[in-house]
Homo-oligomer: A and B are copies of this chain.
């Protein structure tokens, strides 16, 4: 039987894993899809560079046309990264009737809808499981659950670098800068960690998840993002004292027709399933009206885990090819985009303040909250070493983001408030 021919765009960490898996799993691939799979061409930046995996040098090319315009190539696997050039390459490949498997979250978060509709127009599959939480089959999980359930909330730990940093800060009481340095030495963080620690990487993944899970086109700009760079040791200590664990959480929630998608440091009760997801691991917690709570846990990155997701997608494409049903599995968004206003977003909030140490200050502060109809779940007041100051930690009951932001403005303007040290969302307690 004729082999399926693959063109591979990129031979970095993930590309190397894909080559390894396709070579070492020929038997299993044959058993599942009934025909051999062979890599025909691999696009690389430089033919002369040394490779991490032994590759027949005749497979390598520096010319994109050797892949996207070769009529013998059936499936293009894109693991080269990048956005604009890659987008145009993949559009060409789709117009040339090649199916696509991609691990590129940046691309899918920005141009997913365009690429998916181009794929459908050309009768091609475009699968992108590896773009979110590498080794976790979360996109398939969502698609499977969609028809029989209504997903109302997703919370994800979808960035391994920041989860590694927060886990170490929390366990060892270390400062952010020290742990970041350690993470860079261990290879868990890039030399320029901005994309991870700013929350942008997580935001891209949440845009992809929300678009699929809510069947609504969510653009990257719709995602409110706050990173982990300002989290202090004190914040982590107080969280622990109050029974919480700090995580960088991507939230996609829906009430009625309106959705909110955001990424921010968030406090979760220690008993929440996401609270025990540690180190570089990822997890996506999904709440469906019928199924209730489910969670998918696994490695979010890495050569072989991500390559596994890519090859699973490839198997899906090839099964569809053999059945002659490519291009039919994409489900177009069903609902028009409708974003929540701050009035519609409800959560509990953690606030840490430094206030002047005078009679009646706590009563004064808390009255500001109650004027906005916000009451408290937990209150801690502690003296500070600096004279004439105390520290107040408050955890509210559920309140709207609108009310919370107004309260914060009043606190900034209040002469008794010396400094708002930090504020965090609190999730995973009670109401979904």
Give the residue of B28, B148, B298, B334 whose beta carbon is less than 8 angstroms from that of A295. B298
Instruction: Contact check, B295 vs A302: say whether CB atoms are below 8 A apart.
Output: no
CB-contact partner of A147 in B29, B144, B296, B299, under 8 A? B29
A304 touching B276, Cβ below 8 Å:
no
> How many angstroms between the C-alpha atoms of A316 and B281 in the bound complex?
30
B146 adjacent to A28 (CB under 8 Å)? yes
* Residue from B29, B135, B215 in contact with A294 in the complex, judged by beta carbons closer than 8 Å: B135
Shortest CB-to-CB span from A134 to chain B, Å, is: 8
Select the stretch in A47-55, A285-293, A364-372 that faces chain B: A285-293
Contact B276 A291 (CB under 8 A): no
Q: How would residues 156 to 179 of chain A score, 1 for a CB under 8 Å from any chain B CB and 0 otherwise? A: 000000000000000000000000
* CB of A45 within 8 Å of the partner chain: no
Check if B288 sits within 8 Å of A308, measured CB to CB.
Answer: yes
Q: Bound complex: CA of A294 vs CA of B29, how far in Å? A: 21
Q: Cβ of A281: which chain B residues have Cβ within 8 Å of it?
A: 293
A299 in contact with B288 (CB, 8 Å): no
Cβ of A340 under 8 Å from chain B:
no
Q: Is the CB of B315 within 8 A of A25?
A: no
The CA-CA distance from A310 to B149 in the complex, in Å, is: 11
Q: Which single member of B145, B277, B278, B315 contacts A137 (CB below 8 Å)?
A: B145
**Interface residue ranges of A83-97 to B (CB < 8 Å):** none
Bound state CA distance, A147 and B4, in angstroms? 15
Docked Cα-Cα span, A328 to B319, in Å, equals 10
User: Which 7 residue pairs across A and B have the least CB separation, nearest first?
Assistant: A148-B311, A294-B298, A295-B297, A290-B304, A32-B147, A147-B315, A135-B291
A-B contact pairs, 12 of them (CB 8 A): A25-B147, A28-B150, A31-B147, A31-B331, A32-B147, A135-B292, A137-B144, A148-B309, A148-B312, A148-B314, A291-B304, A323-B325
